[in-house]
Structure 1
Amino acid sequence: MDVIKTQQISWRAIEKVIVHPLVLLSIVDNYNRIARDTRKRVIGVLLGSSFKGTVDVTNSYSLPFEEDDKDPSIWFLDHNYHESMLAMFKRINAKEHVVGWYSTGPKLRENDLDVHGLFHEYVPNPVLVIIDVQPKELGIPSKAYYTVEEVKENATQKSQKVFVHVHSEIAAHEVEEIGVEHLLRDVKDTTINTLATEVIGKLSALKGLDARLREIRGYLDLVIDGKLPLNHEILYHLQDMFNLLPNLNVGELIKAFSVKTNDMMLVIYLSSLIRSVIALHNLINNKMLNKEHEKAEDAKLTAIPAEAGC
């Protein structure tokens, strides 16, 4: 029995896919409006730029898409809508071009290769980014793929394209970070706060800090090894940052931090008590108003038979 081996004939052109927060927010909003609480998935076009193997996804828009659950080969995508949207986006920002498409999966499907083939008309090597709109665990909610062609050593079999996983990450410009932070602050309900949300928020913040510190360390290691040129501006900023760090070995500073933390916790505790008292006060007032309203209604009902008897 002959064992058929395969080999990839396309070189690894894409090394990393960077997804911006605006894209994630747009995809989640589109999913909630179209396919929430259903088994349908949402797909759309990814816009951005590519440079030296890195695909930077900065924008997106959804597409009208339908598929048969029983027969994956039956599906429909509105090409006219896609062409119209692409023309309008080019008028707004000519630097953004089609880099691929997205799907809310949450996994690869049989007809994804057919849909992927449509985007070869717009970009030589498009990417597919699957966004998990309902993640069950912490981590990056996106997975990126691109296609390579596999050729069988057995000449009787034809070559075929397959998806290959590529590293993806979430990144944003400073302006985007500020905008997303304010947006999430407005969306979040400050009246509802649990220990779980506090722990998740603290864990996310610590992970972000750890990533930034690792990035700084990696840069300094490359500079020491001579793989990157010395940039005095970056070193000045790092030195300023280190100079601003407090010296935690001083006893007076530790005591000051403790006093400050206790004062802040006391204010939070008092605020929670005041909010609870106000809520209880409003509840009592509401019950009193309802009771007075019921008495007024009963008085009206008793007054009507008396008038009828007269």
Structure 2
Amino acid sequence: MTSTMAIDDEEEVIKEVPLLGNVDEVTMHPLVLLSVADHYHRVARGTRKRVVGVLLGSVHKGKVDCTNSFAVPFEEDSRNPSVFYLDHNYLESMYELYRKVNSKERIVGFYSTGPTIRPNDLRIHDIVKRFLPRTCITAPVFCIIDIRPGRDSLPTTAYKVVEEVSTKDGQRLVKMTFAHVPTVMGAQEAEEIGVEHLLREINDPTVSTVASLIKGKISGLATLTEKLVECKDYLESCVRGECKVNPDIVSNLQTILNLLPNLNTDEMVRSMMIKTNDMHMAIYLSSLIRSVIALHDLINNRIRYGEDGTEYKEEEGEEKKEDDAAAEKKEKKEKKDDKEKKAEDKKKKGAAKK
């Protein structure tokens, strides 16, 4: 890519020359995201620090596939950005252990929780580059993984290192800088099953299933709206001549439009009406059953508590009956004792007179 800029009536030519083994795309796997999130929450949660680790995977025809990662002890001075510490020995030892487990995985780059590029990232890139195989011609990639919640887009941003060559006043200046690389999410079949089970096990007791489903639908529709607005803005800028037409983007948009279903056919309209009627019938029956159950509970409450709202318990009634029976029995016993005492007194008086 070559661009010409005029600065102070002097022509400056800037060329971006990629290193050998150019990187066209970076594929990030779910296991890497889980490992990075765990690394951050263990080390730097609740602080303004970032964590750094190494990405493992493979490279094929300019496409970097990041399948695994491991954390590396890292510290940097917040007051002096040029001062940082990266444990080389730990990195080398962990890489040897991972090579014993899976020899096909090699170091393809490093990650950081950013959320932006720091001045030390180029120096970290040079350190990680030392651990690449000697026959490797692809430079390591740099991925910023944003672990902050509430993101609607992909949490990963990938970069590659390019040489920025500029000439000014007859002098040739070379500077290393980062260039953006497209990032996609990819997963093997086993990873997809694992992620599905993991998401299924996440349960928030404060949120009902219906509420979570509705929230997911709203989030998906919001993202779809954002993408459609982005496509609309791009096409309008192309029509106005503000942006150059990209044949690949136009071809993808045409493919998307061709895949849209035709909703004006009689069969589609009839199917939609039947589906809508079935859904409305289910909603109507659910409301009716809910009303009947509510009335049933109301009647049971009236029977249990009565009109005045005081609760009548059978156990209390039985206890009251038992108490009444015991009192009556005690009263009869007292009367019997009085009669016997009076009879004994009479006998004693009669004997005393004799």
TM-score (norm 1): 0.67
What is the root-mean-square deviation of aligned Cα atoms in Å?
3.6
- Residue 140 of structure 1: which of 151, 154, 166 is its match? 154
The within-5 A match list for 1:145-156 is: 145-154=159-168, 155-156=170-171
- Equivalence for 1:70: 79
Deviations 1:161-185, CA, capped at 9 Å, x for gaps: 1100011122222321221121122
Please tell me whether the aligned partners of residues 47 and 97 of structure 1 are also in contact (alpha carbons under 8 angstroms).
Answer: yes
Cα deviations across residues 31-61 of structure 1 (Å, max 9, x unaligned)? 0110011011001000111112211111111
Query: Do 2:58 and 2:108's aligned partners in 1 also have CA atoms closer than 8 Å?
Result: yes
- Evaluate the alpha carbon distance shift between residue 18 and residue 267 of structure 1 in structure 2; reply closer, same or farther with a 3 A threshold: farther
Instruction: Pick closer, same or farther for the CA change 1:10–1:189 going to 2, 3 Å.
Output: same
Instruction: Map residues 77-92 of structure 1 onto 2, 5 A cutoff.
Output: 77-92=86-101
1:268 Cα shift?
11
Change (3 A) 1:265 1:197: farther
- 1:22: Cα distance to partner? 1.1
State the 1:69 CA deviation: 0.9
**1:14 corresponds to which residue?**
23
Larger radius of gyration: 2
* Alignment of structure 1 residues 111-260 onto 2, 5 Å: 111-121=120-130, 122=132, 124-154=138-168, 155-193=170-208, 197-203=212-218, 249-250=270-271, 251-260=273-282
The 3 A distance-change label for structure 1 pair 63 and 257 is same
Q: CA deviation at 1:201?
A: 1.4
Give 1:158 shift: 3.6
| Pair 1:71–1:44, CA change in 2 (3 A) | same
Matched with 1:302 is none
| Alpha-carbon separation, structure 2, partners of 1:16 and 1:204 | 27
Taking a change above 3 Å as real, the CA distance of residues 204 and 3 of structure 1, as seen in their structure-2 partners, is: same
Once the two structures are overlaid, the 10-residue window that deviates more, 92-101 or 121-130, is 121-130
Matching residue of 1:35: 44
Amino acid of the residue matched to residue 249 of structure 1? R
> Which one is further off, 258-267 or 171-180?
258-267
CA–CA distance in 1 between the matches of 2:291 and 2:165?
67
Cα distance 1:248–1:254, how it changes in 2: closer, same or farther (>3 A)? farther
Determine if contact 1:135/1:141 at 8 Å carries over to the other structure.
Answer: no
3-state SS, counterpart of residue 249 of structure 1: helix
SS in 2 for 1:39: coil
Equivalent residue in structure 2 for 1:24, among 10, 33, 38: 33
Q: Greater CA deviation, 180-189 or 10-19?
A: 10-19
- Calculate percent identity across the aligned residue pairs: 41
| Count, aligned residues | 243
C-alpha distance in 2 between matches for 1:267 and 1:131: 49
State the partner residue of 2:58: 49
The CA deviation string for residues 5-32 of structure 1, in whole angstroms up to 9 with x for no partner, is 3212226811111111111111011101
Contact 1:125 1:147 in 2 (8 A): yes
- Per the alignment, do residues 37 and 196 of structure 1 end up closer, same or farther by CA in structure 2, a change over 3 Å counting? farther
In structure 2, how many angstroms separate the alpha carbons of the residues matched to 1:45 and 1:142? Answer: 15
Give how far 1:190 is off. Answer: 3.9
Question: Following TM superposition, by how much is the alpha carbon of 1:131 offset from its aligned partner in structure 2, in angstroms?
Answer: 0.6
Q: Are 2:114 and 1:105 equivalent residues in the alignment?
A: yes
Residue type matched to 1:174 in 2? Answer: E
- Does the C-alpha gap of structure 1 residues 185 and 145 become closer, same or farther in structure 2, counting only changes over 3 Å? same
Distance in 1 between residues matched to 2:161 and 2:204, nearest whole Å: 42
How far residue 193 of structure 1 moved from its aligned partner, in angstroms, is: 3.9
Q: What are structure 1's unaligned runs of at least 5 residues?
A: 212-216, 225-245, 271-310
Q: CA offsets, 1:109-138, max 9 Å, x none?
A: 011111111122215311000011104431
3-state SS of 2:182 partner? strand
Q: Is the 8 A contact 1:66 1:76 kept in 2?
A: yes
